[in-house]
Structure 1
């Protein structure tokens, strides 16, 4: 009898364990399939919106180039942007900072952010403001991801992941760099940790959006470096020095934006007056320089620098132009200007250090991006997708140096520095 009772107990225990195991397997399968669907939908919509945004920016850029007098109307464009944000009760819009903080907190990304950043960034590029596209990409993506999360009725934890999916999708569609887009969304939110649970959702969204952009004949951003030095001690030292200099320039760029923002917040309360002043300063500086290289994103200048041609002071002028544009209320992003600054500075510094100028420009792009975003893995992946894998160790070395020595400065004030850059220490502080 006792033997029979023990057999029944053992059998029940086995059934319970088997049931628990099956339940666990079902949970993994369901979660995997759920994110394939949700991320696929996010990537589809993000890819379409990102592609339309790319086409719009390219079109208005061509219009501005053919009609260079249009820059005179930049202050008028600024007034339109300020009015649009006023109408939508978003005059104090934190922009990309809100998207980043929403991944860690319960803050919501409003639907209005998507059409507002789309229209206002196009206006900024049309009239010659110095701005990029990724700020719009992250805000568009964050807004799209949030709305899709609401549609699928995702819980609070999953809403964070779908927001990251949206960021990955639009970033990937705009730049044609799906891996960079994936890791950037995972890494930029909290420095020192990476949200690996979001990898599959983000890469599915990024690849879907990338394929959509290719269907619309949007060319991915790619560059060819003519000369990459062999790895030896002398070259490594020169690359380390270039990484140190890029860290310094990254701090200069971040501080220029933040100090100007603070000054304007304290002394110029009226957003309409602010955009008029900023627009007039950009117009005046454009005519003083006698060049249109610093209006818009400046992708042609980046390409020239990677081919070994750059004006020695171009990086300083781009910092000034971008600060006057973004800080005074025009919309766009800081990442393409970062590429411009990094490429032109790297090209110039490489000539002094005895490196190939084109190679130095490429190092400058990756290292400065790392310095201003604190995204080490993303920056190394970016170097592969933009320039190929040759010289990868040198790119990684420069990015590592820039990451460490750029301190806690960042383009995004809501970035959370979770672990110290100097030691295995939990610091949990906001970026500067």
Structure 2
């Protein structure tokens, strides 16, 4: 018996040691490239702040991105969905050119004012470099899936400074309702090492703050740590966050499909998208919904940071950001969806807090993570993100918000290659839900 125990422990030690040796160089490479990406991105955004006329060249930037992917992109055009497909079933592999292509084109998008994010770029950098190392290590199919997942964890954890969130996100995003724990340790090592690498390069992440909030309530002589009315407000708001997540996921596809039907020629899409963004900005008279929405272009601009304060967002800031981002991504510009989702969620949370007479900074934080949770179907990762970014004091509210938004966002999300391993509600899938709705409409002749 002792011999069997020692044998199993030795096998486990070999497994841990092997993956640690393989994942560390991957994570350092991913962290270094993400650090370069974040530095270039910040430089490009602030360069546009100093030269606002660059916005008028957005259609030209769109054509450049289209040509780069036409000439060099090949399968890299699929972006995050290609990496998810490769994790499900390794095939042709992730092209080496994906990492530099997405880095360059995302910086171009932001430098000229496109409304996009950065997570997509980081995840693709992570997947591309992990695939490269997997080839060098001559890994078998099973191990290749693990190292690709670790690359996703490294990229996501490094770009937001949330290594534990990156770990769970990489495991959770692959299939709705299922987590494969065989990649847990490699992902955790990758997320931690990549995050430390970014910090070592001197790159700092935006800090967010929730004001001190008394969430307790006295109830018939007993003190409850969680107020009932506040919890009800959180649940109602989170249902709205989930519905907005669903609207965002559908809006990007709607823009692309509608414009393709109207224009027929793919290279006209970015020109049209760029012109619409320019027109909307001139119509609104302010550039608040361009680019990431993290740094303020001028004093009083609406940003993610400002949404944590009273009066830090307009009533429909979230809707404008949704429209801008759907047009940007739907017409071929590159980047990610997550940071715009943070903006949409935090500004929507700000507006709902004003409506429900609730703590503004708390509801901005809840919207920040819950809209993201609904759009990506990753409620566990987003709950942990709330704890990593805002502290653990309001962990219960984070969990309630993320899981409520998750259930209200439907089966689909922003990643088309994400599979449904287990439906959110037993027996209910997108297809039979549509059939049920059709039967109801038919029965009542609606």
Same fold (TM over 0.5): yes
Matches within 5 A, 1:332-347: 332-347=335-350
Tell whether 2:139 aligns with 1:154: yes
For the aligned residue pairs, the C-alpha RMSD in angstroms reads 2.1
Take 2:73 and 2:156, find their aligned partners in 1: how far apart are those partners?
26
Alignment of 1:287-326 (within 5 A): 287-300=282-295, 301-308=303-310, 309-326=312-329
Q: How far did residue 226 of structure 1 move?
A: 1.0
Question: Residues 213-362 of structure 1: matches in 2 within 5 Å?
Answer: 213-230=198-215, 231-300=226-295, 301-308=303-310, 309-362=312-365
Shift of 1:222: 2.8
State the 1:161 CA deviation. Answer: 1.0
1:401-416 to 2 correspondence within 5 Å?
Answer: 401-416=404-419
Aligned length: 415
Counterpart contact for 2:81–2:416, Cα < 8 Å: yes
Q: In structure 1, which of residues 56, 61, 77 is the aligned counterpart of residue 45 of structure 2? A: 61
* Cα separation, 2, equivalents of 1:133 and 1:65: 18
Aligned ranges 1:32-431 → 2 under 5 Å: 32-90=16-74, 93-107=77-91, 108-230=93-215, 231-300=226-295, 301-308=303-310, 309-423=312-426
CA contact (8 A) 1:82 1:91 kept: no
1:145-187 residue CA offsets vs partner (Å, 9 max, x unmatched): 1111111111101111111111111222211111111111010
Q: CA separation of 1:62/1:264 partners in 2, compared to 1, >3 Å: closer, same or farther? A: same
- Tell whether the 8 Å contact from 1:134 to 1:336 is kept in structure 2 after alignment: yes
**Do the aligned residues in 2 keep the contact of 1:145 with 1:163 (CA within 8 Å)?**
yes
1:382-429 residue CA offsets vs partner (Å, 9 max, x unmatched): 101111111111111111111111111201111111112113x69699
- Residues 234 and 397, structure 2, Cα contact 8 Å, conserved in 1: yes
Distance, in Å, in 1 between the alignment partners of 2:112 and 2:313 is: 24
Q: Which runs of 5+ in 1 are unaligned?
A: 1-13
Name the SS for the 1:153 alignment partner: coil
Where does structure 1 differ by over 6 angstroms across 4 or more consecutive aligned residues?
Answer: 426-429
Q: Residue 361 of structure 1: CA displacement?
A: 0.8
Matched, 1:31 2:15: yes
TM-score normalised over the length of structure 2:
0.89
Query: What corresponds to 1:3 in structure 2?
Result: none
Change in Cα spacing, 1:227 to 1:269, as seen in structure 2 (3 Å) is farther
How many Å apart are 1:91 and its aligned residue?
7.8
Contact 1:64 / 1:127 at 8 angstroms: preserved in 2? yes
